[in-house]
Amino acid sequence: MKLTNNLYSRLSLITCITIVTGYAFVYAWTNFTLTDAETGKPLTSTLMQAVMNNINELNGRFGTLTAGQWCTSDGTKVNCTTNAPLEGVGVNQTWQDMTSSRVVGTIYTNTTDKPIMVYASFHVWGVNSEFITCNGGWSRNRCWE
């Protein structure tokens, strides 16, 4: 399992932010026609206002991205307000203490539409005593569907 605070996730986030930010500024700079935007011309208040107007217009094309949201686009606007079909592990979830129901042979069933993580701690007394079954798939240290 990859930790969410590793180098890979940080680079992925930086890449996404760079792409969106880069697109925003390229769009804001290139999506207008002004004669004073030619090469070698000084930066004027008219040119700066045109860039700012385009940034403001572009701002209306992006929704606010929050955890558990799914982004869609119709080609003119990015919509990040639709609930994700299956939220990530930990989104709107808390750890549950199942100590009172710890009994050999206990079956825990995920009755939610969210993925779950299970933490189990136990002493090993026999060769195979630490095996856990999970939806039919099993190994010494992981479960799968």
What CA–CA distances, in Å, run from 123 to 47, 126, 129, 145? 71, 9, 9, 25
Sequence-distant (≥ 6) Cβ neighbours of residue 133 within 8 angstroms: 143
What digits encode the pLDDT tens for the residues 13-44?
444 444 444 555 555 555 555 555 566 666 67
Q: Band of the pLDDT at 78, cuts 50, 70, 90? A: low
Arithmetic mean of pLDDT, 59-78: 61
Question: pLDDT higher for 5 or 51?
Answer: 51
What residue spans define the domains of the chain? 7-83, 86-145
pTM above 0.85, yes or no: no
